[in-house]
Chain A
Amino acid sequence: MSAVASQDVFRGGFANPDFDAQMVFRQIMNALARPGTVCMIDAFTEPPAPLSPCTGAIAATLFDADTEIWLDPLLLERQEVVGWLTFQTAAPLAETGFDARFALVSSGDLLPPLERFAQGTQEYPDRSTTIILQLDSLEGGVPLVLAGPGIKDRHVIEPVGLPPRFVEQWAANNSHYPRGVDIILVADDGLIGLPRTTRIEPTDGQEA
Chain B
Amino acid sequence: MYVAVKGGEAAIDNAHRLLADRRRGDRSVPAMQIEQIIEQLGLAVDRVMSEGSLYDRELAALAFKQARGDMIEAIFILRAYRTTLPRFGYSEPVDSGTMQIERRISATYKDLPGGQLLGPTFDYTHRLLDPGLMGDEAVGTPPRREAGDRQAPRVSDILAHEGLIENDSDLPDDHPAGDLTREPLEFPMARDVRLQALSRGDEGFLLALGYSTQRGFARSHPFAGEIRIGEVEVEIDVPELGFSVCLGRIQVTECQMVNQFQGSSKSPPQFTRGYGLVFGQSERKAMAMSLVDRSLRASELGEDITAPAQDEEFVISHADNVQATGFVEHLKLPHYVDFQAELDLVRRMRAEFLASQAGDDVADNGVEAAQ
Taking the complex as formed, is A90 at the interface, i.e. its CB lies under 8 A from any CB of chain B?
Answer: yes
Which of B87-95, B166-174, B300-308 lies at the interface?
Answer: B87-95
**Told that A2-B242, A3-B240, A90-B89 touch, could you supply 16 new A-B pairs with CB distance under 8 A?**
A1-B241, A3-B239, A3-B241, A4-B240, A4-B242, A10-B240, A64-B87, A65-B88, A65-B89, A65-B90, A66-B87, A86-B239, A86-B240, A87-B240, A90-B239, A92-B239
B329 to chain A, nearest CB (A): 30
In the complex, are the beta carbons of B240 and A66 less than 8 A apart? Answer: no
Q: How many residues of B contact A (CB 8 A)?
A: 10
- Interface residues of A, count at CB 8 A: 14
Write 5 A-B pairs (CB below 8 A) sorted by A numbering.
Answer: A1-B242, A64-B86, A65-B88, A66-B87, A86-B239
Q: How far is the CB of A69 from chain B (nearest CB, A)?
A: 12
Within 8 A of B (CB), among A1-54: 1-4, 9-10
Q: How far is the CB of A94 from chain B (nearest CB, A)?
A: 13
B72-87: CB near A (< 8 Å → 1, else 0) gives 0000000000000011
Which B residue sits closest to A10, measured CB to CB? B240
* B330: interface (CB < 8 Å): no
The distance in angstroms between the C-alpha atoms of A185 and B239, with both chains bound, is 29
> How far, in angstroms, from A4 to B89 measured CA to CA in the complex?
18
The answer to whether A65 and B87 have CB atoms under 8 Å apart is yes
Which of A1, A10, A65 counts the most chain B CB atoms within 10 A? Answer: A65
A56 at the interface (CB under 8 A from B): no
A2 to B182, CA, bound (A): 32
Residues of chain A within 8 A of B88, CB atoms compared: 65, 90
User: Is residue A83 contacting chain B, with contact meaning CB distance below 8 A?
Assistant: yes
**A92 neighbours in B (Cβ, 8 Å):** 239
Chain B residue nearest to A84 in the complex (CB): B240
A86 vs B241: C-alpha distance when bound (angstroms): 10
What is the bound-complex CA distance between A86 and B240, given in angstroms?
6
Contacts of B241 in A (CB 8 A): 1, 3-4
Per the bound structure, the CA–CA distance linking A10 and B239 in Å amounts to 12
For B90, the closest partner residue in chain A by CB is A65
For B87, the chain A residues whose CB sits under 8 A away are: 64-66
B85 CB to closest chain A CB (Å) equals 11
Whole-angstrom distance between the alpha carbons of A9 and B90 in the complex? 22
